[in-house]
Amino acid sequence: MHRALAAEVAAARARGVAIPRVLDVGGGSGAWAVALARLDCAVTVVDSSPDALAALHRRAREAGVHERVTPVQGDVDALADVVAPGGADVVLGHGLLEVVDDAERALAALAAATAPGGAVSLLVAGRNAAVLGRVLAGRLGEARAVLTDPQGRGGPDDPLRRRLDAAGLRELVRRVGLVTETLQGDGVLEGWVPGAVCDGGPAAVRSLAELESLAAATPALLEVAVRLHALARRPSGT
């Protein structure tokens, strides 16, 4: 996913954008914002939590990129008050669609903030991984609920409002007028690998990372990823 975003920043520059404009909605303390600011992007982070934005400010200052990061308190429902339509070359909605009241409305707001030809990066909780994880933990009732509930929820106490599979994410992207260019798994293997494997030293960690990279792009395996990552394009001229 890091490589996909770095490639998108490079593509924006190839389109003639000297300083790519990044909008990170729900970006919290800035894990992605700081990384993209290090690529000489101008990053605006919109988050409803003042504590998270304070942490973002500290992190950006410590990384020496605070002049390229702008924190804004707000949420996706009022995004048009923060960013002009088409005002961002790359828009991030990571961990956003599973917590908002209306996922389609939120994604439409992200699409509206994206410049024609720009991209929206989405990271969402995977439904199938949640089912398998609960089965392995012996929580069969919750597994059934996640599998059969229209929103992929495990019950009324589930902290997430929805989980998606690949088809559901593609359809949501299509409904707001974006075009899915890349759909891959994030954390395809991490939930299933015994902890002892990661204790095997740097060689084992590298081997697992290489295998994870291959699995992320394998259609059958991405369906059991903990998270799904989509890169969706706003068509030029829209």
User: Domain spans of the chain?
Assistant: 2-126+164-233
- The rounded distance, in Å, linking the Cα atoms of 142 and 16 is 50
- Residue type for position 184: Q
pLDDT at residue 97 in the model: 97
Question: In the predicted model, is pLDDT for residue 206 greater than 90?
Answer: no
pLDDT per residue over 177-202, tens digit each?
999 999 999 988 877 787 777 677 78
Asked whether residue 207 carries a pLDDT value surpassing 80, the answer given is: yes
Q: Over the stretch 63-110, which tens digit does the pLDDT of each residue have? A: 999 999 999 999 898 898 888 899 999 999 999 999 999 999 999 999
pLDDT in tens, 156-183: 999 999 999 999 999 999 999 999 999 9
**The predicted structure's pLDDT at residue 139:** 95
Distance CA 155, CA 70 (A): 37
Angle, to 10 degrees, between the axis of helix 127-136 and the axis of helix 140-148? Answer: 170
Residue that is written with structure tokens 């409002």 in the block: 161
Q: Which CATH architecture has domain 2-126+164-233?
A: 3-Layer(aba) Sandwich (3.40)
Checking if the pLDDT of 22 tops 90, the result is yes
Give CA–CA dist 55/100, Å, rounded. Answer: 22
CA distance 162 to 152: 5
Give the model's confidence band at 6: pLDDT under 50 very low, under 70 low, under 90 confident, else very high.
very high
| Cβ atoms of residues 160 and 153 within 8 Å | yes
Query: What is the C-alpha separation between 82 and 91, in angstroms, rounded?
Result: 13
Q: Tell me how many degrees the CA angle 179-104-131 measures, rounded to the nearest 5.
A: 90
pLDDT of residue 220: 87
Q: List helix spans (H) across the chain.
A: 2-14, 31-37, 50-62, 103-113, 127-136, 140-148, 166-175, 195-198, 202-216, 219-222
Distance CA 8, CA 35 (A): 13
The pair of three-digit structure tokens given for residue 25, joined into one six-digit string:
């909605």
Distance CA 28, CA 96 (A): 11
pLDDT in tens, 112-144: 999 999 999 999 999 999 999 999 999 999 999
Instruction: Report which of 120, 74, 65, 73 is spatially closest to residue 238, judged by C-alpha positions.
Output: 120
Count, residues in the chain: 238
Q: Which residues, in sequence order, are CB contacts of 160 under 8 Å at separation 6+?
A: 98, 99, 125, 152, 153
